[in-house]
Structure 1
Amino acid sequence: MADHQEASVTLPTTPSSVATARRHVASVLAEWGLPEGTDDAEAVRLIVSELATNAVLHTRGQSPVFTVEVHLERDEELRIGVTDSHYRYPRRLPAAVQQDNGRGLVIVRWLAAERGGRLCVSPTEDGGKTVWIRLPWPVPVS
């Protein structure tokens, strides 16, 4: 496999785009050797769903599109980033907050940590941000 592979898709910040982002990433990862239905593939699907949902819900109409990027470095590290043009960074809510939503980043951090990865946020040149997840690349299932 090549030292570096990447794919991306830019979508409107609408609820239906979350499923499109999830399908896109699943398809790319299957091409790269991570079959759908495995625990790792399902974890990545959930991570992409949460990050895309955040881009749709929390940009409050101030980011007309979001971009999902997928990078594979030397068959060692998978990076998935969701970029939007909204200036506000995601916030972790206190565990004591009792509400129906707002736990997405907690889930993402937990799924990443469980697989030896991490979540980070970086600014973009246009004042927005990219929320990245970095994971060790799993050995493809035979």
Structure 2
Amino acid sequence: MADHQEASVTLPSDPASVPTARRYVADVLTGWGLDAAADLADSVRLIVSELATNAVLHTLGQSPTFTVEVRLEREERLHIGVTDSHPRRPRRLPAAVQQDNGRGLVIIRVLAAEAGGRLSVTPTEDGGKTVWITVPWTVPSVARC
């Protein structure tokens, strides 16, 4: 496997794009040797779903598309980023507002931490942002052959 692999897809900011983003990332990671039944695969699918949902729902129509990027560095670190063109950084909603939604960022942070990773947000040149999750790549060496 190469020292660095990456893949990305840009999708319309539409709820129908969320499962497409999830399937895309799952297929890429399977191609890189991650067992679809692995705990990391389950976590990544949920993380991508939450990040894509946030990009669709919380950009208030200011981002017609979002991009999902997946990078694997030296078979050690997996980076998953979702970029949109809305300038507002993601934030936790107050507990009183979180009745039906608002838990996505908490879920993402917990899943990333459980996998030994972290969440970060970086601004883009066009005024938007990318929400990144970085986790250790935990594919058994036999699967890397």
The alignment's TM-score, normalised by the length of structure 2, stands at: 0.94
- Residue 43 of structure 1 corresponds to 43
Secondary structure at 1:40's aligned position in 2? helix
**How far did 1:85 drift?**
0.3
Structure 1 runs of 4+ aligned residues shifted over 2 Å read 93-98, 139-142
Q: Which runs of 5+ in 1 are unaligned?
A: none
Query: Partner residue of 1:6?
Result: 6
Give the whole-Å Cα distance in 2 for the aligned partners of 1:70 and 1:9: 9
Percentage of identical aligned residues: 77
Say which SS state the counterpart of residue 80 (structure 1) adopts: strand
- How many aligned residue pairs are there? 142
Indicate yes or no: 2:133 matched with 1:133.
Answer: yes
1:94 shift after superposition: 3.7
Question: Which amino acid is the alignment partner of residue 109 of structure 1?
Answer: R
| Mapping of residues 1-142 of structure 1, within 5 Å | 1-95=1-95, 97-140=97-140
Whole-angstrom CA distance in 2 between matches of 1:108 and 1:117:
10
CA distance in 2, matches of 1:94, 1:63: 24
> Relative to structure 2, which stretch is displaced further, 98-107 or 1-10?
98-107
Structure 2 gaps, min length 5: none
CA distance in structure 2 between the aligned counterparts of 1:101 and 1:14, rounded to whole angstroms:
17
Map Cα deviations across residues 13-49 of structure 1 (whole Å, 9 max, x no partner). 0001000000000000000010212211010000000
